[in-house]
Amino acid sequence: KYKNELGPNVSVFCMAIPVGSDFYLPPSFKKDREKNSINYLYSTMNPSIKCVKAYDELEKHQNEYIQFNTDHHWTGRGAYYAYLAFCNSAGIEPLTVDKFEIKKINNFIGTLYNYTRCEDLKQNKDYVEYFKIPNATRATCFNENLSSEKETKLYAEYARGGNSYGVFLGSDHPMMRIESDVKNGKKILIIKDSYGNAFAPFL
């Protein structure tokens, strides 16, 4: 419906994000692979929709730190590989890893521990790795009815502890606007959940 409304001059992408269970749960837990659901979703799309194969790219790197131990989100590295998949679908050249300033927040214990209070998870702490883009940006966030806005940061580097994933965009805002010093005449609108917080800065 978005594609029909926006017309032929606007590209529309769909990127289904795997949650990691396909990669890491023991085989006895796998009744139906998430990959099958994603492939089915993509098969129902109008051919004019560009379907991003994030699953396939993440699967190549499943032995790397792409999923947290104690949290349901992917890591910054996982989001980077999804960015590679997006660039492939969009026909653009991605930045290589060496172009980013890679930073780390230690001692992250996330939602899976908070829900379960499982001691095994507490003993297997995570760290939050984030890839700072080599560009100047200006970010603005809006309230729920879009009646007010305020300056914010692309990376909330003060985030610590259980809120460390909040380093990406500073949390979930009803709407954000990000402008960068890349002046190529292109704009992109992202409709996302919290997985998109780690992904959005790459764009």
Residue 28: the pLDDT is 80
Q: What is the mean pLDDT of residues 154-170?
A: 95
pLDDT digits (tens, 9 = 90+) for 14-30: 999 998 888 888 878 76
Mean pLDDT of 175-196: 95
Q: What is the structure's pLDDT at 31?
A: 66
Q: What is the DSSP string of 101-118?
A: EEEEEEEE--HHHHHH--
Q: Cα–chain-centroid distance for residue 8?
A: 27
Across the range 117-128, mean pLDDT stands at 94
Question: Residue 176 forms beta bridges with which residues?
Answer: 141
Residue-wise pLDDT for 168-181, tens only, equals 999 899 999 999 99
> Quick one: the chain helix, strand, coil %, rounded to 5?
35, 20, 45
Q: pTM score, two decimals? A: 0.94
